[in-house]
Chain A
C-alpha cells in the first residue's frame, strides 16, 4: 500500500498546539499570505492566545469531522505548512484548507505535492465521495495548483470579496472520487 504520509518533498505529521502557535504567530504577520488564504480581515493575535485556540482545536478531543496535519520538509524537517480536511459525514464530502506559511516554499511544487497527499488521504482513507475547496480570484497560483491536482471549476460567487477597495469573485472547485481514481496511474495497493 502507498505511504499516506510521505511524498517526495514533504511528509505529513501530527499537529502540535505549541509548534503551530509559534508558526502562526510568524505567518499571521504576512498579510499577503493571510489574504490569499482567508476572506476575513487580517489580525494579530498573541502566541498565547493562538496556542489556546489550537489546543482547543487539536487536543480537546479529536473531532470525527476534522483532520489536520503539520507539513514538514523531508530535507530538513522544517514545519512549513498545514492542511486540514473538514468532513461532512452525512453526505460524504470533505472541504480542504491548505496554506504554506513559509513563503520561500511558494511556487516550487510543495503545494501541488501537499494537495496530492491530501486527496490521496481523503479518497483512500476517509473514503469520501468528493472533495471541495474555495479560493479567491486573485490567487492564480493556487488555481493552477488545484487544477493540476485534478479539481474542476464548479462556479464563482460574484464579487463576494472586497480587498483594497476592489471587488473579486470567490471560485469554487470540486473533484469526485471517480475523477480522482481515473487520474491514478499504477497500482494503489503497491
Chain B
C-alpha cells in the first residue's frame, strides 16, 4: 500500500540521495574503467574518466537540474552503509506532454543482480508517476542488454519502437529498443 506517508526516497535496501562531492567521484571513476558496465549504461563511447572530471560533470549536472527544469537525478545508495551503488534519472521531461525518459544503472559488479536495480526502478517510477504526475515514461535499451530488457519488462514496460541497426558495437549493428509505460498501466499494477 502506497500512500502519502510512504517515503519516496527510501526503499527496502536502498535510498535515493544527493551527490557527495567528496566520496562519489572516487567510486564513479572506477565504474568508467569497466567497459562492460559502461556499454550497458551508455550509448556514447565508453571512456575512463578521472575523479576530477567526474566532479566537474556533477557540477554541470546540478547546474542543468537548476536551469533546465526538465531533469531529476538521484544517487542510489545502499542503506546498510550508505555506499554509492548506482545512479538514476528522469530526463528530457516534456511537461506539456507529460512524458520523460528513464536512465539508471548499478555501477559495481558486486552490487549487481541483488535486486537493487529493481528497487531503484520501482522508486523511480513512483516518483515519476505519483510525484511528477507524468503521463508516460520511456526508456531506450540496446538489444544486447538482456538484464535491462528483463527488468523493464518485469515492471510492465512494453516494447514500442525497434530502431533497426541503430548501434554499432563490436563490429556489428544492433537494434535500439524503446520501451514505454503509461501512468494508468502503472496504477493498475500497483492496485493489483
Contacts and interface: CB of A to CB of B under 8 A. Distances in A.
Interface of A: 39-41, 90-93, 129-130, 132, 154-162, 167, 172, 174, 176
Contact of B180 (A39, A158, A162, A176): A158
B82 interface: no
Given A155-B159, A158-B160, 19 more contacts: A39-B97, A41-B96, A90-B45, A91-B167, A129-B165, A129-B168, A129-B173, A130-B165, A154-B163, A154-B164, A155-B160, A155-B162, A156-B160, A157-B180, A158-B182, A159-B182, A160-B99, A160-B138, A172-B161
B151 interface: no
A41 B164 CA distance: 30
Nearest to A132: B163
A174 B138 contact: no
Contacts of B164: 130, 154, 174, 176
B99 A172 contact: no
A74 B21 CA distance: 58
Interface residues of B, number: 25
Give the interface SS of chain B, mostly helix, strand, loop or mixed.
strand
B13 interface: no
Which of B45, B166, B168 has the largest number of chain A CB atoms within 10 A? B166
Contacts of B49: none
B167 A157 contact: no
Interface of B: 43-45, 94, 96-99, 135-136, 138, 159-168, 173, 178, 180, 182
Main secondary structure, interface of A, reads strand
A176 B161 contact: no
A39 B70 CA distance: 15
A28 B163 CA distance: 31
A162 B163 CA distance: 24
The 3 A-B pairs with the shortest beta carbon distances in the complex, nearest first, are A155-B161, A160-B99, A172-B161
A16 B174 CA distance: 38
B97 A157 contact: no
A40 B96 contact: yes
Contacts of A93: 166
B182 A162 contact: no
Given A40-B96, A155-B161, A155-B178, A162 B135 contact: yes
A176 B168 CA distance: 13
Contacts of A174: 163-164, 166
B173 A156 contact: no
Given A90-B44, A157-B178, A130 B166 contact: yes
A156 B44 CA distance: 24
A162 B161 contact: no
B138 A157 contact: yes
